[in-house]
Amino acid sequence: MDIFADLWMGLAVAVSPINILYLLVGAMVGMVVGVIPGFGPSAGLAILLPVTMGMDPTGAIMMLAAIYYGAMYGGTITSILLNTPGESATVASTFDGYPLAKKGRAGPALVMQAVASFAGGTIGVMLLTVLAPAFAQVARNFGPPEYFLLAMLGMITLLVMLGHNWKLGLISALIGFALGTVGVDLETGQSRYTFGSAELIGGIEFIPIAIGLFGLGELFYSFYEGAHKTGADRLIRYSEEKHFWPSLHDWVSTRFTMIRGSLLGFVVGVIPGAGATIASLMAYSLERSVSKRPENFGKGEMAGLVAPEAANNAASSGAMIPLLTLGIPGSGSTAVLLAAFLMWGLRPGPLFMEQNAPLAWGFIASMYLGNMALLVINIFAIPLFVQIIRIPYRILAPIVVVICTIGTFSVASSNIEMYLMFAAGVVGFFMRLYGYSPAALLLALVLGPMAEEALRQTLMISQGSATIFFERPGSNWIMVTTVVLLVVLPLLQRFGRTARADPASAGA
């Protein structure tokens, strides 16, 4: 019953007019970020983080979270109408979304993806509501050894998910760890890698690096791929179709698909490093394997669109569990969200929901409202987003460069941070180009200082003995979980890869 009381309290916080306004702005911005190909939620969050500086923390966090899950909704519009995923988590939606649109069923596809996203998002938040307090309860007994192991778990799972690119991913993570060591060592007071600069004493700030890697880096990479030379000529004109609304058969045939996709997506989303992309690909594979008409997948099967949509939205809710209850982000996007929490002086972890109950429950309650708002926006504002898709990238890109630069400066009025952001942008471009992982770098930059502090405290407690990791039940559980994930994750990845490969062969 406590959960309902807490949720009710959160709802009271979330429904204040100003918070509703922030939520709607976040949802709209998330949709816009989603529909722009080459721009994921990480980039959108990083770029817009400075804009939240003057806001109340509750409203700001609600808005940023709405951008995160709103991008999942928006990314599918281009998947269906343009065969170009707005972001990586909507790749699986192109497999059947675009064929449906080509068959003259773009309208029903757009409505069904909005409903599936709503179902996935809402089921995900319901599970988050129930499970987050339980996770926090378990994590209450965690000390420095467990936090060190959790940070390592987050990094290891991300590296495992990089597959054959794990070596370059590890180099990326080590660069992030290295950047995290800059500044004054809190235990001894000795400066590290500051070279006499007063601006570096506090360490390298996370925000300019995030904006540079995900904002500028992605933008340069999109230019490299020629995004500024292509238009939206292939855009399917859904408004000329006879039937906009889905048929009864569409609803009936996908009712269990939504539930399956949502549950699978949520579980995958909770695993640090796995994320919405893997969740959507796995849901697609699962749906095809249980379907009575697997041969129709890749040719315009509604279940092939609904499953990944439900999964990627549920995964974005699932990713909030390790973030809120353990303070461990599982992806680049949630790392930026963690940075937002830290920017407001809030430290997510086992006691977060208890010590910041109005904010934490207001945030969870806002996700219910945000999903409702996104359902309505998604169905009735499609013409608006189609217009946004038509804006050429060559016009959009310079404006994004300006927002990244001025936004970075506005956080601390620092020219150094602006230059740092630009350098991170150039490095981020080369990292994308040569197969490195900007997400691993960012995650390591967040987790590195935490892991170092936790390890030093652990060894202080144990007087230098590493056996402490084997003496505590919490540590043992985390180590067992890590080993299990090391075995299971490559299998999940292989399952998702077959989904990616098969529609291509079907279409060939």
Confirm or reject binding of residue 168 to other proteins (CB under 8 A): yes
455 binds other proteins (CB under 8 A): yes
Q: What are phi and psi of 191, to 5 degrees?
A: -75, 140
308 binds other proteins (CB under 8 A): no
Candidates 160, 236, 422, 450; binder of other proteins (CB under 8 A) is 422
Tell which one of 163, 202, 231, 392 touches other proteins (CB under 8 A).
Answer: 392
Which range of residues in 70-78, 113-121, 230-238, 421-429 is near other proteins by CB under 8 A? 421-429
What DSSP line would sit under 237-277, residue for residue? Answer: -GGGSS--SPPHHHHHHTHHHHHHHHHHHHHHHHSTTTHHH
For residues 244 and 237, what is the distance between their CA atoms, to the nearest angstrom? 12
Q: Tokens 């013409």, residue?
A: 383
Residue 199 near other proteins by CB under 8 A: no
The alpha helices in 17-143, defined as continuous H runs, are 17-35, 41-48, 57-82, 91-102, 106-139
Judge whether 88 and 332 are in contact, CB under 8 Å: no
Three-state DSSP class for 191? strand
Q: Smallest distance, Å, CB 300 to other proteins?
A: 33
Choosing from 8, 245, 380, 430, the residue that interacts with other proteins (CB under 8 A) is 430
Is 459 near other proteins (CB under 8 A)? yes
Is there binding between residue 469 and other proteins (CB under 8 A)? no
Choices 111-119, 242-250, 325-333, 390-398; region in contact with other proteins by CB under 8 A: 390-398
231 lies in the binding site for other proteins (CB under 8 A): no
Nearer to other proteins, 190 or 505 (CB): 190
Binding mask 339-368 for other proteins (x = CB under 8 A): ------------------------------
Which residues, including other chains, have CB under 8 Å from residue 498's CB and lie 6 or more apart?
Answer: 285
C-alpha distances in angstroms, 412 versus 49, 82, 202, 359, 368?
A: 12, 40, 13, 25, 33
Is residue 418 near other proteins by the rule CB under 8 A? yes
Name the CA radius of gyration of the chain, rounded. 22
Q: Which is nearer to other proteins, 280 or 437 (CB)?
A: 437
Question: Which residue type does 34 have?
Answer: G
φ/ψ (deg, to 5) at 184: -80, 130
Residue ranges in contact with other proteins by CB under 8 A:
50-51, 53-54, 167-168, 170-171, 174-175, 177-178, 181, 185, 187-188, 190, 192-193, 216, 219-220, 223-226, 228-229, 392, 394-395, 397-399, 401-403, 405-407, 409-411, 413, 415, 418-419, 422, 425-426, 429-430, 434, 448, 452, 455-456, 459-460, 464
